Amino acid sequence: MSKVKVSRKAHFNAAHRLYRADWSDSENDRVFGKCNNPYFHGHNYDLVVSVTGEIDSETGFVMDMKVLKSLIKNEIEDVLDHKNLNIEVPEFKDLNPTAENIAVVIWNKLRLHIDASKELEVVLYETPRNFVSYSG
């Protein structure tokens, strides 16, 4: 049997602010710097979702890419694109919307809809040079 990783790229824009309400202004500034701007700031996030599993002998697919495409659109892009993550996305009400935490939230949302026999990996680019990976 051949295990193959298939990947789909996606994209969304979102605004956020990194801070802790239980920290002083100076502590927030020291740790989060410009990301602590109280008026928020935006990023163009690039997302790579990968699914690894056996090739289905009938279809030749690991996963139907049409299904993966619509899953990412419905579960991720429609939920995060053009949103203020701190204010509009419930998962970040009490969770700092760092790239790390966003990747985990995305992974958790997708995991529910992908066959348990397959491995899931999320790579999230916050900038072209800064990216994080999460595989559960």
Residue 102 in the binding site for Ni ion (CB under 5 A): no
Does the protein bind Ni ion through residue 35 (CB under 5 A)?
yes
Q: Given 82, 88, 113, 121, which residue is catalytic?
A: 82
CA angle 107, 126, 32 (to 5 degrees): 105
Amino acid letter for position 94? D
Q: Which residue is nearest to Ni ion (CB)?
A: 35
Q: Residue 43 catalytic?
A: no
Number of H helices, E strands in the chain: 5, 5
3-state secondary structure of 97: coil
Q: Which one, 85 or 114, has the nearer CB to Ni ion?
A: 85
Which range in 27-35, 56-64, 67-75, 113-121 contacts Ni ion by CB under 5 A? Answer: 27-35
51: contact with Ni ion by CB under 5 A: no
Q: Is 27 noted as a catalytic residue in this protein?
A: no
Specify the residue, 69 or 82, whose C-beta has the smaller distance to Ni ion: 82
Structure tokens at 130: 């800064």
d(CA 132, CA 63): 23
Residue 18 near residue 63 (C-beta atoms within 8 A): no
Q: 42: which 2 tokens?
A: 């935006």
Residue 35 or 122: the one with the smaller Cβ distance to Ni ion is 35
**Which one, 14 or 63, has the nearer CB to Ni ion?**
14
- Is 126 one of the catalytic residues? yes
Going 72 to 45 to 79 to 119, the CA torsion angle's sign is positive
Q: Which of 35, 58, 77, 113 is catalytic?
A: 35
Which residues in this chain contact Ni ion in the complex, by CB under 5 A?
35
Catalytic residues: 35, 82, 126
